[in-house]
Amino acid sequence: MLKHTFKKGHTDRTLLLLHGTGGNEFDLLPLAEIVDKDANILGVRGNVLENGMPRFFRRLAEGVFDEKDLIVRTKELYTFIQEAAELYHFDAKKVVAIGYSNGANIAASLLFHYDQAVEAAILHHPMVPLRNKVVPIQHTRVFIAAGKNDPMCPPKEAEDLASMLEQAGADVTLYWEQNGHQLTRTEVEAAKYWL
């Protein structure tokens, strides 16, 4: 099983927390507190190391993904969610992914590969995980927060991702900050109200 932390909540919703490069399973706990403090929390640590920094999949260079590895790791994460649901007795159909940067990219990849991996997804500063991919038809709700001046995840990436998901049938909300790559309190608050 992937390294993780689980905290039981008071509702049947589970927040799946996916950190950015160099993070861990605890990084996004403060976000979960803001977004839905009553939900179960499943924080996961990516099991790929880049110079000692955990990630969810390998990359060949900044912004250039190892697509083969991405596909394998996406399947691994999908299987992990099912296993964790059995272990901790939560409803695998009521999972909301919250990802930042590399974590948002693997969450987007889940949406690109599985019709019902998550009920909804909050993607902070994502990129298009794979180009030229037929995205399975789905009605998943997706919130994308992006920075107009983000050099790591440029605006076009968020726009392309939004339109690819929309074309597949997802219900997408795109939220802009004027900032760069950093995660802001206001975008997390916006995600909370959206959810």
Catalytic residue list? 101, 150, 181
Residue nearest to ligand MLT (CB): 102
Nearest CB to ligand MLT, comparing residues 42 and 153: 153
Find the binder of ligand MLT among 59, 94, 141, 192 (CB under 6 A). Answer: 59
Q: Does 152 bind ligand MLT (CB under 6 A)?
A: yes
Q: Does 131 bind ligand MLT (CB under 6 A)?
A: no
Segment interacting with ligand MLT (CB under 6 A) among 25-33, 34-42, 55-63, 158-166: 55-63
Q: Does 23 bind ligand MLT (CB under 6 A)?
A: no
Q: Does 101 bind ligand MLT (CB under 6 A)?
A: yes
Which amino acid belongs to residue 97? A
Nearest CB to ligand MLT, comparing residues 56 and 143: 56
Q: What are the distances in angstroms from CA 117 to CA 13, 48, 74?
A: 14, 21, 10
Nearest CB to ligand MLT, comparing residues 9 and 154: 154
Q: Does 7 bind ligand MLT (CB under 6 A)?
A: no
> How many other β-carbons are positioned within 10 Å of the β-carbon of residue 69?
16
User: Nearest approach, Cβ of 58 to ligand MLT (angstroms)?
Assistant: 9
Nearest CB to ligand MLT, comparing residues 53 and 92: 53
Parallel, antiparallel or unpaired: strands 14-18 and 171-177: unpaired
Which tokens go with 31?
A: 């976000």
Task: Name the site residues for ligand MLT (rule: CB under 6 A).
Answer: 20-21, 59, 62-63, 101-102, 105, 127, 152
